[in-house]
Amino acid sequence: MPTKDRYHHGNLRQALLEAGVELLKERGIDGLKLRAVAARAGVSHAAPAHHFPHLRSLLTALAALAFERFAAAMREERARAPATAIEQVRAAERGYVRFVRENPDLFRLMFQSSRLDWGDEVLKAAATAARRQLSEVSGPVAEALGDVSPAGRRAAELLVWSSVHGYAHLLLEGQLQATMRDPGDPVPEPPDIAGLVLGRGDR
Amino acid sequence: MPTKDRYHHGNLRQALLEAGVELLKERGIDGLKLRAVAARAGVSHAAPAHHFPHLRSLLTALAALAFERFAAAMREERARAPATAIEQVRAAERGYVRFVRENPDLFRLMFQSSRLDWGDEVLKAAATAARRQLSEVSGPVAEALGDVSPAGRRAAELLVWSSVHGYAHLLLEGQLQATMRDPGDPVPEPPDIAGLVLGRGDR
DNA sequence: TGTACATCAGTGAACGCGCGTTCACTGATGTAC
DNA sequence: TGTACATCAGTGAACGCGCGTTCACTGATGTAC
């Protein structure tokens, strides 16, 4: 680790991003201040300006990193699952929901569109790559729905994406708990779109 | 209108809420400051304290009002639609999405759980009432899925809710635009869960 | 119809704080010769 | 192997701002008698 007591940090950019991830976990999205991130990285609060000209740049880079981890979560679940169409959809959804549970504030940041620079190519690429995990598993859904045209594929992907995203977001923001259940009830399972469309009586 | 140049406002509480709605539309959720709301209502910035002890109380009341309008949007669409199961689901979803399109920042506020007081009974009641619109149309979905037990009903409702909520949220935060489409493409239609589950070849 | 008075709903000044950003600076590093 | 020097990546003080909240106050209202 080159994080000695040196004047030059060595890899401050990376350290700032890691500090950002930690602070997001500890203090939530409203606790993610430039000064706090700098302090966590062990550096004066003006130092980040050399790497991120504005707070917005740091948040954008952080969101890109989040999308990468998000994609990785889906990829991992898929790699572990059987290669059948139905199990691949379910695995991607499991990865989606797991990421949201484990990184609620990273997920919030990814969708705080007003604070991110969506013109940033790195962010766009990371978001697109994450989304590709869903595209890949949605092909068989389009087939099952009988429309494999580009529009049909997009519709199938949107079906999968919407339902898992909606579930994850409702869960994240406490809506499932707030209006549905007695406090002790278990959190409901996500909707099983894969079983619904692809299942042949096995749901 | 009792909004004369009087020392006592007459109905400041209501005026503050209306000012809040306006400011949310104009400046977004980050522009919703106590001082701005007070100024918009034509009152000194310390005056709101008599009606809302903290900013949090005002935001909570505003979110409750938002949930009421949200429920109304779904109710209106349903009243206008045929009384068939499939069209009632679609109508509720139309209301859901219309509200989000017309009131993006009200919707964001409703889900900014960290800034709201979910212990507030008025807020809880408003959220539950909004949710009831979806419960009501989801009964036939549970039947079609062959499970009308309480758990089955909850699962059916969650299916409908997740997919429309996910679509609306992705739309709201620009995700559909950011990663899917050429800039000129039309925004994709929401997934048709009703047609999928209830449709008999008519999708 | 008056008057006294408690209560309510405003005012406006001030407090204290934390924020992102700027700026002149300084120490460290790497390269040319 | 030295030396000069441009460049880079930090420091720390300061700026300017807007925020939510507090506080002593004052004007208006409603009620008791």
Number of Cβ atoms within 10 Å of the Cβ of A95: 26
pTM: 0.93
pLDDT of residue B3: 40
CA distance A6 to chain B (A): 39
Across the interface, whether the CB atoms of B127 and A175 are under 8 A apart is answered yes
* Positions of strand C less than 7 angstroms from a protein CB: 9-14, 18-24, 27-29
Residue B111 CA distance to nucleotide D5 C1' (Å): 57
Q: pLDDT grade, residue A112 (50/70/90)?
A: confident
User: Tens digit of pLDDT for each residue in A9-41?
Assistant: 778 999 999 999 999 999 999 889 999 999 999
Confidence check: pLDDT of A162 > 60: yes
How many percent of chain A have pLDDT more than 70?
Answer: 93
Pairwise CA distance, residues B96 & B172, whole Å: 12
pLDDT of residue A2: 39
**Chains A, B: CB pairs < 8 Å:** 114
pLDDT of residue B58: 95
The sign one gets for the Cα dihedral A171, A177, A180, A184 is positive
Residue that is written with structure tokens 């679509």 in the block? B167
Strand D contact at CB of residue B49, distance < 7 A: yes
CB distance B106 to B21 below 8 Å: yes
Pairwise CA distance, residues B14 & B41, whole Å: 9
Out of A167, A180, A197, the one facing B162 most closely (by C-beta) is A167
Q: Which long-range contacts (CB under 8 A, 24 or more apart) does A140-145 make?
A: A140/A85, A140/A86, A140/A88, A140/A89, A140/A198, A141/A85, A141/A89, A141/A193, A141/A194, A141/A197, A141/A198, A144/A197, A144/A198, A145/A197, A145/B196
B196 contacts in chain A (CB < 8 Å):
145, 159, 196-197
B173 contacts in chain A (CB < 8 Å):
111-113
B185's CB contacts (< 8 A; 6+ apart) are: none
pLDDT of residue B5: 63
pLDDT of residue B1: 37
Per-residue pLDDT of chain B (203 residues; tens, 9 = 90+): 334 467 677 789 999 999 999 999 999 998 899 999 999 999 999 999 999 999 999 999 999 999 999 999 999 999 999 999 999 999 999 999 999 999 999 999 999 888 999 999 999 999 999 999 999 999 999 999 999 999 999 999 999 999 999 999 999 999 988 666 677 778 899 999 999 999 864 44
* Positions of strand D less than 7 angstroms from a protein CB: 9-14, 18-24, 27-29
DSSP codes of every residue in A84-149 = SHHHHHHHHHHHHHHHHHH-HHHHHHHT-GGGS-TT-HHHHHHHHHHHHHHHHHHHHHHHHTT--S
pLDDT of residue B179: 66
pLDDT of residue B187: 87
Residue B33 CA distance to nucleotide D15 C1' (Å): 23
Strand D contact at CB of residue B36, distance < 7 A: yes
Nucleotide closest in space to A42 (CA vs C1'): D10
Which of the two residues, B9 and A47, has the higher pLDDT score? Answer: A47
Residue that is written with structure tokens 């969650």 in the block? B158
